[in-house]
């Protein structure tokens, strides 16, 4: 008897555990573009197009290897709209299948659902570990056990030792674990970041783009400049380009932002990694090799590797450790509405307009835009976590709940009360001005704290501190902020409160 091998849209890796012992003679692979998954939030058009096209190419590769692949396209009239119904139908239509095998999915909601399938389908359903990550949820839980605060840096050091990346025996290469302090430079005036080539669109991708425009035309985002690789070969080419042209300056300009420069030196690999076209170790090994050969400096390579074996694995570990309660937390009791300009990009705040434009055009914005611009604004404006989480899950091509939620809910909004970050990443306009050239093209004045043209981030920063004083003053890392707040007169505080309220009302937040 054979097995039905279900491959989900973010499991496009030939090394996938559910395919490892698959037998093309007896087993059947099922892949399905189901409406339930494509529309449970109204995903960005490029996100849907990327996944559908990458799935179709992956299915074709498996077929070329000799596998029988049952592939259900979104526009097939027989599409049943849900994964379980597609599985049931395939078990019935294909002869000689005795059970289902699937690699563990990346989302709590779907994992719960798959947990009921054995009963629902009346056959064995085996769920295998997703070994494309370096730390299993169980290994992370063991590491977290008994620790008061879960600090990424300590977890990261364990991952360095485990993988041997940038290790010199038992010590970190260069004598330091972390070179972050060197990675905070602004982009020099007149500097042009590397050109980012885009792969040629295959016929399959063009078909998918047409289907997406037709069926999901009213979703957020444009399809005009679709640049995603949809095969492993093209994703590897994109990685090579990053390692050669962008990695050497990745560290220096990791936190920089600039008008019209949407990619800077970032790797743009998150969508490929999260969908399985690339693996974390091969990416880090390519970066380490660049350091060993003298092609990239240590601050860049260490900073990059830390993002992948440190942050990415840490975030995933937290997700599985803390769900489902995690999603329900709202430590700052934020309840305000998400302003409409998150969807239209129509705002006079130039930094926000830039981050939202990039998001609309590429289903991408880099980390500092996500954290210190759109995330920071939502934090300062007291927007309800559910609304912000949903926006982030919709708009980025790399967004899956396991990675989006801890980053948004925890890191950006501090809704988890300090699990991801010990203090909120709240910042005034001064931070954005230090790391970008945005403020010089903005109608607001970054040096103004109150009044008609005052930078909204300045006003809202102090309003945020006053609104949340009871929850934050005792935080040892917030001492300086509250000492500065204490220096403000009552009249200044009243003005900030009054002007912030009016501003939030004008933005449709209150
Ligand atoms: C509010 C917010 C929401 C985010 N949502 C997502 C999301 O839905 N999906 C997602 O993959 N990342 C998310 N991130 C993390 C990070 O911003 C993106 O991984 C990164 O911007 C992707 O671009 P890149 O591939 O060019 O990354 P680079 O800057 O080149 O970094 C290299 C890689 O490191 C990994 N990485 C870096 N930081 C993180 C992090 N904090 N968490 C997990 N992985 C990380 C990514 O795989 C990334 O591809 C979010 C961050 C914030 C602040
Ligand atoms: S002045 Fe304020 S709103 Fe304008 S770009 Fe600078 S930080 Fe953003």
**pLDDT tens string 185-220:** 999 999 999 999 999 999 999 999 999 999 999 999
Outline where DSSP puts E strands in 38-140.
68-72, 97-103, 125-128
Give the global pTM: 0.98
Q: What is the pLDDT of residue 311?
A: 98
Nearest-atom index, ligand 1, CA of 398: 9
Q: What CATH class does 341-506 carry?
A: mainly alpha
**Domain spanning 2-128, CATH architecture:** 3-Layer(aba) Sandwich (3.40)
- Burial of residue 484 (CB within 10 Å: 0-12, 13-18, 19+) is exposed
**Ligand 1 binding pocket includes 313 (Cβ within 6 Å):** no
| Residue of 11, 25, 171, 6 whose CA lies nearest to 85 | 6
Q: Is the CATH number of domain 137-199+231-322 1.10.569.10?
A: no
**438 C-alpha to ligand 2 centroid (Å):** 7
**482 C-alpha to ligand 1 centroid (Å):** 31
Q: How far apart are CA 402 and CA 419, in angstroms?
A: 15
Q: What is the pLDDT of residue 267?
A: 98
**pLDDT tens string 93-104:** 999 999 999 999
Q: What is the pLDDT of residue 309?
A: 98
Q: How far apart are CA 151 and CA 139, in angstroms?
A: 15
**Ligand 1 binding pocket includes 143 (Cβ within 6 Å):** no
Q: By the 8 A CB rule, do 180 and 303 touch? A: yes
**382 C-alpha to ligand 2 centroid (Å):** 18
**What is the mean pLDDT, run by run of 10 residues, along the chain of 510 residues?**
97 98 97 88 97 98 98 95 96 95 97 98 97 97 97 98 98 98 93 95 98 96 98 98 98 97 98 98 98 98 98 98 98 98 98 98 98 98 98 98 98 98 97 98 98 97 98 96 98 98 98
Structural domain spans, the chain? 2-128, 137-199+231-322, 341-506
């Amino acid at each position: 008897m054979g097995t039905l091998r279900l491959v989900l849209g973010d499991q496009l890796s030939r090394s996938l555990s559910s395919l490892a012992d698959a037998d093309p003679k007896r087993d059947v692979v099922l892949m399905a573009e189901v409406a339930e998954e494509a529309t449970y939030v109204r995903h960005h058009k490029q996100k849907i197009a990327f996944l559908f096209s990458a799935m179709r190419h992956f299915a074709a590769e498996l077929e070329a290897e000799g596998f029988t692949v049952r592939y259900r396209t979104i526009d097939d009239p027989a599409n049943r709209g849900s994964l379980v119904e597609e599985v049931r139908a395939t078990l019935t239509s294909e002869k000689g299948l005795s059970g289902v095998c699937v690699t563990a999915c990346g989302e709590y909601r779907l994992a719960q659902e798959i947990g009921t399938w054995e009963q629902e389908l009346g056959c064995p359903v085996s769920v295998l570990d997703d070994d494309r990550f370096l730390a299993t949820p169980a290994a992370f839980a063991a590491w977290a056990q008994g620790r008061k605060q879960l600090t990424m840096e300590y977890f990261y050091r364990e991952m360095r030792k485990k993988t041997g990346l940038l290790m010199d025996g038992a010590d970190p290469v260069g004598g330091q674990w972390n070179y972050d302090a060197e990675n905070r430079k602004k982009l020099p005036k007149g500097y042009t970041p590397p050109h980012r080539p885009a792969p040629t669109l295959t016929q399959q991708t063009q078909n998918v783009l047409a289907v997406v425009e037709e069926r999901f035309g009213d979703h957020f985002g444009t399809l005009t400049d679709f640049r995603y690789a949809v095969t492993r070969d093209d994703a590897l080419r994109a990685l090579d380009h990053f390692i050669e042209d962008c990695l050497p300056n990745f560290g220096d300009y990791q936190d920089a932002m600039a008008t019209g420069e949407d990619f800077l030196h970032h790797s743009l690999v998150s969508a490929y990694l999260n969908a399985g076209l690339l693996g974390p170790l091969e990416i880090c090994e390519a970066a380490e090799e660049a350091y060993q050969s003298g092609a990239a400096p240590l601050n860049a390579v260490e900073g990059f590797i830390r993002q992948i074996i440190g942050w990415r694995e840490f975030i995933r570990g937290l997700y599985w450790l803390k769900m489902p309660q995690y999603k329900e937390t709202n430590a700052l009791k934020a309840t305000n509405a998400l302003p409409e300009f998150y969807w239209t990009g129509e705002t006079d705040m130039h930094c926000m307009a830039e981050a939202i434009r990039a998001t609309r055009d590429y289903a991408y914005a880099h980390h500092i835009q996500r954290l210190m611009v759109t995330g920071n604004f939502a934090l300062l404006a007291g927007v309800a976590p559910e609304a912000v989480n949903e926006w982030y899950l919709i708009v980025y091509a790399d967004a899956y709940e396991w990675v989006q939620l801890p980053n948004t809910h925890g890191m950006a909004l501090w809704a988890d009360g300090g699990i991801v970050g010990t203090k909120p990443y709240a910042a005034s306009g001064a931070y954005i001005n230090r790391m970008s050239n945005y403020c010089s093209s903005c109608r607001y004045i970054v040096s103004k704290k109150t009044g008609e043209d005052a930078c909204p981030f300045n006003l809202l920063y102090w309003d945020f501190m006053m609104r949340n004083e009871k929850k934050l003053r005792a935080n040892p890392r917030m001492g300086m902020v509250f000492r500065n707040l204490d220096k403000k007169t009552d009249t200044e505080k009243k003005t900030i409160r009054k002007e912030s309220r009016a501003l939030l009302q004008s933005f449709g937040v209150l």
